[in-house]
Structure formats: structure tokens, C-alpha cells
Structure 1
Amino acid sequence: MDAQPARSKQTIQQLYNTILPELAQHIHRNLSPVLPLFHDFHLERVIDTWTKDPAASEGEEISIENGNVQQLGLRLRLEGFQKAGAEAFDLAKDLLFRLEKYGYSIGPDKQSTWLEKEYGQRWEQSEYNQLAEKWTEDLIDTLTERLQGLSD
């Protein structure tokens, strides 16, 4: 039986180069009804090169190459909400992959977990769809709260 893969350059690259772009496509499809409400939008992959691994040696650079990245994910910026009578505003939302030694958890912030996976574990289409749907619903809730705040 194969040993469980640990976080490494290869497992991080797999997430960054394969999983995140596929997930971004699902999210973009789900966002299509919301996008016309804004002047512009950006959906991009992000890597946290600030958070240091507690087990890392002093002065070790945080990078994919070193296999010691603690977080990566997707960041959405919706800019210039456009609706007559409403003041323009921007929204930003993250989807974080918190990388542990043998697996990772995914959620909208550091405290919430919507999905947990092991490195090397295959992603099902239903998982992409569920995450994209949940994240889009969360974004729409945030947008609704923001609009209600404007009308109060």
C-alpha cells in the first residue's frame, strides 16, 4: 500500500495548476448572473508567502519550490456595483486552501471548513460544483447584506 503523500512542491503545484483553475471555472459559471451588476471583476489564484510553517528553519523562504506554502486559494474582486440609486461599492471574497502536512481544508476563511481532502485524492465533479455553489451563495448573501445596509 502506498504511503499517504505529504505536502510538497508537487502536491502544491497540483493544487495551484490543476485544482484551482478548474474550481475557478465552476465559480465563474455560477457568478455569471451577478457579474453584470458590477463594472469589473477579477478572479485570481493567490499564494500566501507570508505565513511561516512553525516547523520551518529560520530564514527559509516560503515558496512552492520549497514545498512549504501554508495557504493558497482564489480571490474574487467585484468592482463598481452599478445600480441606479445605489452608491457604487466593491466586494472581495476569498476561498482558502489551508495546507497541512498530509491534507488540506477549504473554506471562505481561516475558521470555516467546507471540504477536507488528502493530497493526491481525486476531485469529483460534484465537489467542484458543491464548493462553487456554496461559495457563490455566500457571496450573494454578502451582496444582499451590503445592499440592505445601503437602503437602511
Structure 2
Amino acid sequence: METRNTRDKQSIQHLINQILPALAQTVHQHIQPVIPMFENFVLEQVVDTWTKDPASDLDDEISIEKGNVQQVGLRLKLESFNKPGAEPFDVTKNMLFKLEYSSYTVGPDKNSPWLEKVYQQRWEKYEYEEIAEQWTEELIDSISAQLVK
């Protein structure tokens, strides 16, 4: 397979088909103790087909096929906290892959990068673990903040 070092259809598909599922699996392992506290749990992949590349034509359609998607990621939804003595609440967390021309960043939003990678660069096991741990810490902080309201 030819190595691609720019954002294009193949590099985006690699992220969606290889990296995101492996990261989702690692995240799921890390948040396992938290899941039973809620009635419903969803961990899904997301693809942003709304955000346009500032350098693109206004009429350009945003799609994986065109290789011009700007963001992909994971969304976690924990719904209806169900512990006695606490008001039910929901928690939603995003993990965003901000796709630049020759690299991408991973973080909880587009302004807080935790990791930067070049397209097609192999992820090491420790990188999956570190990202999952950081995200889990933010999730626990969000749940704790809701409980002290």
C-alpha cells in the first residue's frame, strides 16, 4: 500500500476504519466501571460533513470520498445517571480528530490537542492508552461536577 502523508480519501478512511475502532475499544475498556451508573450508554463514531476547509470553494461538497472532511471522532453519551439520592443527568463527551493538510490532532475539542500524528503514522499501544486515560479523567471530572450541583 502506498503511504499517504496528506489528508485524502484513503487517509480519512484509514482513520475511520482502523484508528477510531481501536481507540473506541480502548476507551470502552477504560470507562467500563462508569457505564453501570447510567441507564444508557452509546459510544459512536462521528464524521463532520458541515465544516468546510477555509481554502475550498463554497460550493464544494464535504465528504470522505472527496477527502475534504475536516473532523472525525468519537462521541460518548451516558444517559440517565441512576444512583439513589442524585438527580438523573446525562453526560456527553467528544473526542475530536482535527484533520489538517498533512497531519491531524486528537483531543477533546479542536483547541486542546493531546496528540499530533502524520497521516498513516502507526499508533502505538501506549498512545491509545494515554488518550483513553485522559478522556476517562475528563469524563469522571464531568460526572463529579454534575454530582456537586
Q: Fold match, TM over 0.5?
A: yes
Residues 11 and 120 in structure 1, CA contact (< 8 A), matched pair in contact too: yes
Q: Which residue of 2 aligns with 1:141?
A: 141
Residues 97 and 106 in structure 1, CA contact (< 8 A), matched pair in contact too: yes
% of aligned pairs identical?
Answer: 57
State the one-letter code of the partner of 1:77.
K
Residues 3 and 120 in structure 2, CA contact (< 8 A), matched pair in contact too: no
Q: Which residue of 2 aligns with 1:131?
A: 131
Tell me the alpha carbon deviations over residues 17-45 of structure 1, each in whole angstroms, 9 at most, x when there is no partner.
Answer: 11000000000000100000000110000
Q: CA deviation at 1:148?
A: 1.0
Residues 70 and 99 in structure 1, CA contact (< 8 A), matched pair in contact too: yes
Tell me the alpha carbon deviations over residues 74-120 of structure 1, each in whole angstroms, 9 at most, x when there is no partner.
Answer: 00000010010111111000000000000000110121010000001
Q: Which residue of 1 aligns with 2:76?
A: 76
Tell me the alpha carbon deviations over residues 2-23 of structure 1, each in whole angstroms, 9 at most, x when there is no partner.
Answer: 9861100000000011100000
Q: What is the aligned residue count?
A: 148
SS of 2:132's equivalent in the other structure is: helix
TM-score, length of structure 1 as denominator length: 0.94
Residues 78 and 92 in structure 1, CA contact (< 8 A), matched pair in contact too: yes
Residues 30 and 136 in structure 1, CA contact (< 8 A), matched pair in contact too: yes
Q: Distance in 2 between matches of 1:7 and 1:16?
A: 13
Runs of 4+ in 1 over 3 A off after TM superposition: none
Cα pair distance change 1:125/1:13, threshold 3 Å: same
Q: Distance in 1 between matches of 2:58 and 2:48?
A: 18
Q: Which residue of 2 aligns with 1:94?
A: 94
For structure 2, list consecutive stretches of 5 or more residues without a partner in the other structure. none
**Are 2:6 and 1:9 aligned?**
no
| Coordinate RMSD, CA, aligned | 1.3
State the one-letter code of the partner of 2:16.
Y
Q: Distance in 1 between matches of 2:3 and 2:35?
A: 44
Residues 107 and 114 in structure 1, CA contact (< 8 A), matched pair in contact too: yes
Which structure 2 residues correspond to residues 1-40 of structure 1 after superposition, within 5 A? 5-40=5-40
For structure 1, list consecutive stretches of 5 or more residues without a partner in the other structure. none
